Chain A
């Protein structure tokens, strides 16, 4: 079975600064990787996903993530954040032969002016 570790529970950042959210996973088979964002009292919205191919994945709202198979990581980055990026971010993994997702505990990003 797969598992996901999000290394930072809280990330405060100033507006227009870069941000990186770290995600590591463990699995004995090939995986699909996802980042979701959750705004307060809302459902989860897909930011981006890695299924195969290029290891650098671009998503919505200027976010990107890089899949590193040797380090079993899928870190999320944005070069310049806005106040509206304040939210909780979840990394998730599924094995390619099983579409059940395992989620990390989440990282709360707070953007300050």
Chain B
């Protein structure tokens, strides 16, 4: 069966520091991968998605970037964090064919101080 992992689970970072969040999927090949942010009391905002290695689409302009160095690895990064980057970051995957259903990881809680 397929599983999705995210780490770290919780992160407290100062403003201006760099960020790297990692997401990996096991038990499938060639997944579509997604990064979402959930701000307090709000729904989920799609940040990035990827249909293959090195292929990244950005949904909103922001202080963040994403990379997909391996088939089942998706990384969310920032060079300098802002206070507004605080939130709950969720990674999700779908099958590349017939992949209408997204399955979510456990999330990373990021607090920027």
Contact = CB atoms under 8 A, between A and B. Distances in A.
Nearest to A96: B100
Interface residues of B, number: 22
B44 interface: yes
B43 A100 contact: no
User: Most A CB atoms within 10 A — which of B34, B42, B102, B106?
Assistant: B102
Contacts, number: 47
Given A100-B46, A105-B42, A106-B43, A41 B100 contact: no
A101 B46 contact: yes
17 contacts: A41-B107, A41-B109, A42-B106, A42-B107, A43-B6, A43-B104, A43-B105, A44-B44, A51-B100, A90-B43, A94-B100, A99-B94, A99-B99, A101-B46, A101-B102, A103-B43, A104-B43
Interface of B: 6, 32, 34, 42-44, 46, 49, 59, 90, 92, 94, 99-107, 109
